[in-house]
Amino acid sequence: MKKRSKSSPIIIATVLSLMFLVSFFAIRLFTKPYVNVQETKYINIPTGSKISDVKEILDKAEIIENFKSFEIFSTIYNYKENIKPGRYKISDKMTANELVKMLRIGRQSPVKLTFNNIRFLSKFAGIVGNKLELDSAKLMNLLTDRVFLSKYGFNEKTSISMFLPNTYFMFWNTTEIQFIDKMKGEYDKFWTEERKQKAAKIGLTINEISTLASIVQEETNKKNEMSLMAGVLINRLKNNMKLQADPTARFAYGDFDVNRITSNYTSIKSEYNTYYVFGLPPGPINMVEPENIDAVLNYKSSDYLYYCAKADGSGYHAYAITYAEHQRNAIAYHKYLDKHGYLM
């Protein structure tokens, strides 16, 4: 019988030790906290990034101290060939395995985008461009492109009504067209058949309703009088009277801080100035809050044809059926302005 080699136990012990060490380091590699953050951080990986770009982003954010583990898992998951752009949440105690796997599958954290109180598309495009990867200039070009907008039912003067002020969540690498499509989807959800029928009953298109609501929104911040004010403006439209709404003169003039609307404003020859033109402006004069659109759709019926700010500083308005009554209200208000030093 052949004698067993004395070295066999040593070899077996060595192999077992190596297996133990490999297992130990493998477990540590997969489970040891890896990122160098004390609190949650976010990183943005731009479209078209390479692995060197990702490493630079992680390095600048001071997320990783040692890139060896990152490189190992990048190879295991073939991340170098599958880099996905987006915004990613890096939490404390995240392992190298978890980090690379998240980046590899593109498990993004959505961006919170809130917008309201906006008059001009240029400002809006800038706000969106600061939050998302998209190019604000390209977005602005699309929102003023008549041919492009026609597919959505808008033109360059009505496109602002597509965007309903609210808080939205979307991926950071959303493109310009994807953003517009998402907003149009939200717009379509808002404009239910019931709302469309109310607009048709008033005799206005939904774009015209948004335009009228933008005027009401500028005229008053008192929610409980918006529906009454909307009814007055609808009465004037039906009676073929100029709306003579001060906010439209301000918009046409480009001065939004003036307290007193003088002939310098009302005489501006602009399609937005309802002292100058009959009917509605060609588009909204601001981005309209959804609830203010509803105030127009659910307008309060009355015989009033005029309104003027009350002479008590309350922010509410005095309503009148006759021009003579309206003149008395206007005189009282102008005296109030004089008394309190509002020259302009």
CATH of the domain at 53: 3.30.1490.480
Total-model pTM: 0.86
Does 271 map to a domain? yes
Treating both helix axes as pointing N-terminal to C-terminal, what angle do 96-105 and 8-31 enclose, rounded to 10 degrees? 60
Does 248 map to a domain? yes
Residues 40 and 129 occupy one common structural domain: no
167 phi and psi angles, rounded to 5 deg: -110, 130
- Residue 155's domain comprises 111-183
Does 247 map to a domain? yes
Dist CA 326 CA 304 (whole Å): 10
Give one DSSP letter per residue of 309-331, joined into a string. Answer: E-TTSSS-EEEESSHHHHHHHHH
pLDDT band at 68 (very low <50, low <70, confident <90, very high): confident
Residues 244 and 308 occupy one common structural domain: yes
Which of 81, 105, 129 is where one domain is finished?
105
Residue-wise pLDDT tens digits, 278-303: 999 999 999 999 999 999 999 999 99
Which of 158, 183, 208 is where one domain is finished?
183
Specify the number of domains making up the chain.
3
Task: Of 222, 342, 337, give the one whose Cα is nearest residue 291.
Answer: 222
Residues 212 and 316 occupy one common structural domain: yes
Does 117 map to a domain? yes
Q: Look up tokens 């953003």; give the residue.
A: 179
Residue-wise pLDDT tens digits, 253-279: 998 888 788 889 999 999 999 999 999
